[in-house]
Structure 1
Amino acid sequence: MPLIPKGHPTLWIKSTRSESLHGKTIVLAVTGSIAAVRTVELAREIIRRGADVHAVMSEAAGWIINPMALHYATGNEVITAITGKVEHVEFFGNMGSADLLLVAPATANTIGKIATGIDDTPVTTFATTAIGAGKPVMVVPAMHEDMYRHPAVIENIEKLRSWGIGIIWPRVEEGVAKISDNTRIVLEVERMIGSNSLQGKKILITSGATAETVDPIRILTNRASGKTGTELALEAYRRGAEVTIVHRNRLEIDGIREISVESAEQMTDAVLEELARGYDLLISAAAIGDYTLEAAGTKIKSGGEPVLSLRPTRKLIKEARNAHPEIKIVGFKAETGISKEELFERALRTLNNSNLDMIIANEVSAGGMGTDDNSIYMIRPDRKEHMNISGPKSVIANTIMDEITRMLSIGDKH
């Protein structure tokens, strides 16, 4: 029979997603917005990444969600009043045990109180203490759009930002400044109090498929989804890097810069222009088309047998290496219908010919292109063994970024 974990049943999910927040203690401060109903799953998503979560609630929050729900979600009793235990000092005094105060959702009322040092609820008392002690604080606004646009609310949010408090901006739609989605909130938490192992590094990532115009309606492209490139960008961002991604997709994360391109030519030009701004690393994860053609000015009529004249596209990695011999470059090599030995041979040939620092190789006949999972090999010129990683692309990106972190760290020492 399988062993049943000890402790509150909710904690059985701890670290099941990742250990990006392992060893961290986060206080989730909930105020009286209808978005409070989202906090049960938010707490659990944070726990899935290894953190301990404690909740503190204002009286108004209790009108929206019962404290028992957050007790269930966190595995810890909820703080609804400051008692003789002086809970605010226990967690956020100079010797407090917490690593972050996450105010989610934060109403206009609570934001105003925090900005002016008023602490007449458990949440604002926690905020006053954490800010006074210089502890990390993040605020996630949620309110009606008209309230969000009020000059005083805008001024208060800007004041909090000037104090170094993280603001996770809402999504303004349907007349409401809606609380950011939980995935985004967790990502920003990971970046603020995570490993910061790539802080100060600039990383450029290409992702997904390119597309060559056949006529105003049709394109030539491939099956790459961009999921690996997206996961690499998110993982680099989590670890504190300054990240730019060049692709056809849309990521829409405020802290990640996106450059939109379509063709192989556009991607190559964009990457070379961007590298001139100074980067530590290029990850060329995009499946760049090998061929292009002269596009027809009008739609090619259906029913015939058109002949397309293809010509090779430029080789981004070779041009990037020639232009920037100092930069670290990670390439990708996808093949089909060959043995593992032949895959290694071709990957090593590309690695050596293009003077890469690492190459990711995989045989995609059975999957990998456009799928959620993959199986890849990390190949380094200074390693005899080629590390194999299989599983979700998020897990693969995490392991690749571990190796990249080591690679960049070694480079810093030379």
Structure 2
Amino acid sequence: MPRDVDVVTHGNSLDGKRILLGITGGIAAVESVRLGRELRRHGAEIHVIMTEAATKVITPLAVRWATQSPVDVQWSGDMPQLEGFDAILVAPATRNTLSKHANGVMDSPLSMALAAGTGNGTPILVVPSMHDDLFDDPVTIDLLEIIKNRGCSILISESEEGRRKQPSPEDIVSRLANIVNRDDKSRRVLVMIGGTEAPIDDVRTVSNHSSGRTGWSIADHLYRYGHDVFVLAGRISFEPKSISIPIITSTDPDSMKISTKDMIEDEIMNIDSVVCAAAISDFVVSDSKSGKIESGNDISLTLTPFEKILDQIPQWIKSSRGDNSGYVIGFKLLANSNRDQLVNAARSQIDRVGVSAVVANDLSQLTDDGPRALWVTSDNFEELKDTKHIGVAIDALLRA
């Protein structure tokens, strides 16, 4: 029977990672319970240091319950703040804490931990939370610039109700995982998700059932494992929430083609790999009408094939990145097919387009129990149990 303190595992991007969670005296410290449990959902091993001011907002007992970890407030002889950590997370980070760290003040276990972490190159993520008047003070901007130049990562929310509120625990843990897992094999990846809509008139469209959820799950997985991720979304059935992953929307086939090429060629984005999980329309209405076609009468539509965007992506990548080109992963969906037919269709796409690998599935696999898809390369294939394993396979290829 689950215990009161247990959490449901959501991922393993922080498995085995020792995280020092620093909690300072902002009102956002009340979010520490949710943040601590979210860290545990992704496998983090946590050690907590609270400032004296933080204990006036939330009790160490509550934090201890949420994190199931030691909570230090006072100095102790064994100096746990100097132990080796894989990352330091300070949330919330008050301006007072930012000022001490920027100016070398070391008057608490947390400020010593930050100084030591900076000295030994431990990744540090600080999450400032304060009123806009304080945040917009040039002194605050200078403090953030100083610690950024020393290697700290900073996560800041948009202004809401006159405050820079602490981002959601999901956003914080996602950014922390990205920082911890980043290495010299991390790539800059465009993930295309969702379906497209071909207009019949200004009201009606021809579309498909793609929700975009598989593509978003892949984007989230790749981001948590250290890649820079950009999402190009067609029509999707949900609202993706992330303050770390840029999302551009293009719902019709023509605009998606233009956006794909523009993003690949953008020198700032510097995209070197593409995951084409979008269900882009194979057909468009050749004679779409302006206005609204009058209802109640029979109409005939002429559908014409739309050029396959995937066929052009490898060449766009090669032209833009040259020797720094990465990988292109395609998707292939069939209906009423067997394994051999799926593998053959996927390899046909590899041969025709030059993609690196294909995620192939049958329509029945989207709802039935059993393997979620096949991972197909030119010389091998394997079953992928679920959406998570699709992300694992793509990540492994990107780091090959």
TM-score range, shorter chain: 0.7 to 0.9
2:261 aligned partner:
272
- Which ranges in structure 2 are unaligned for 5 or more consecutive residues? 319-324
Per-residue displacement from partner, 1:331-380 (whole Å, max 9, x unpaired)?
A: 10112223333333333333322232211111123635xx9x97111011
CA distance in 2, matches of 1:330, 1:304: 44
C-alpha contact 1:229 1:286 (8 A) present in aligned 2: yes
- Partner of residue 103 from structure 1, selected from 85, 90, 98: 90
- Partner of residue 277 from structure 2, selected from 273, 280, 285: 285
Q: 1:120 to 1:291 in 2, by over 3 A?
A: same
**Structure 2: which amino acid aligns with 1:139?**
V
Where 1:332 maps in the other structure, the secondary structure is strand
1:94 aligned partner:
none
**Superposed, which structure 2 residues align to 1:119-198 within 5 Å?**
119-194=106-181, 196=183, 198=185
1:47 aligned partner:
40
CA distance in 1, matches of 2:126, 2:374: 40
**Superposed, which structure 2 residues align to 1:346-357 within 5 Å?**
346-357=345-356
**Structure 2: which amino acid aligns with 1:284?**
C
**Structure 1: which amino acid aligns with 2:24?**
T
CA distance in 1, matches of 2:262, 2:167: 33
Residue 60 (structure 2) pairs with residue 67 (structure 1)? yes
CA distance in 2, matches of 1:322, 1:83: 60
C-alpha contact 2:91 2:126 (8 A) present in aligned 1: yes
**Structure 1: which amino acid aligns with 2:147?**
L
Residue 100 (structure 2) pairs with residue 113 (structure 1)? yes
C-alpha contact 2:182 2:227 (8 A) present in aligned 1: no
Residues matched between the structures, number:
386
2:299 aligned partner:
306
C-alpha contact 1:23 1:51 (8 A) present in aligned 2: yes
CA distance in 2, matches of 1:281, 1:17: 26
Shift of 1:150: 1.9
Residue 236 (structure 2) pairs with residue 263 (structure 1)? no
C-alpha contact 1:18 1:48 (8 A) present in aligned 2: yes
C-alpha contact 1:228 1:397 (8 A) present in aligned 2: no
Query: Which has the higher mean CA deviation after the structures are superposed, 182-191 or 354-363?
Result: 354-363
2:322 aligned partner:
none
**Structure 2: which amino acid aligns with 1:259?**
I
Where 2:25 maps in the other structure, the secondary structure is coil
Where 2:122 maps in the other structure, the secondary structure is coil
Residue 375 (structure 2) pairs with residue 378 (structure 1)? yes
CA distance in 1, matches of 2:136, 2:389: 42
1:238 aligned partner:
224
| CA root-mean-square deviation | 2.7
Shift of 1:269: 2.5
2:312 aligned partner:
319
TM-score by length of 1: 0.84
C-alpha contact 1:56 1:78 (8 A) present in aligned 2: yes
Where 1:135 maps in the other structure, the secondary structure is coil
1:247 aligned partner:
233
CA distance in 2, matches of 1:154, 1:375: 48
CA distance in 2, matches of 1:366, 1:237: 26
CA distance in 2, matches of 1:345, 1:223: 24
1:388 aligned partner:
383
**Structure 1: which amino acid aligns with 2:66?**
A
- Which ranges in structure 1 are unaligned for 5 or more consecutive residues? 92-96, 410-414
Q: 1:73 to 1:255 in 2, by over 3 A?
A: closer
C-alpha contact 1:281 1:329 (8 A) present in aligned 2: yes
The share of aligned pairs that are identical, in percent, is 28
Where 2:19 maps in the other structure, the secondary structure is strand
CA distance in 1, matches of 2:178, 2:316: 32
TM-score by length of 2: 0.87
Q: 1:380 to 1:154 in 2, by over 3 A?
A: same
2:13 aligned partner:
20
Q: 1:312 to 1:118 in 2, by over 3 A?
A: same
CA distance in 1, matches of 2:291, 2:201: 6
C-alpha contact 2:276 2:331 (8 A) present in aligned 1: yes
**Structure 1: which amino acid aligns with 2:107?**
D
Per-residue displacement from partner, 1:44-92 (whole Å, max 9, x unpaired)?
A: 2222222210111111111111101121222222101112222333x2x
**Superposed, which structure 2 residues align to 1:213-224 within 5 Å?**
213-224=199-210
Query: Which has the higher mean CA deviation after the structures are superposed, 349-358 or 138-147?
Result: 349-358
Where 1:300 maps in the other structure, the secondary structure is coil
**Structure 2: which amino acid aligns with 1:61?**
A
Q: 1:303 to 1:121 in 2, by over 3 A?
A: farther
CA distance in 1, matches of 2:371, 2:30: 35
2:342 aligned partner:
343
CA distance in 2, matches of 1:160, 1:179: 19
**Structure 1: which amino acid aligns with 2:136?**
R
Q: 1:126 to 1:203 in 2, by over 3 A?
A: same
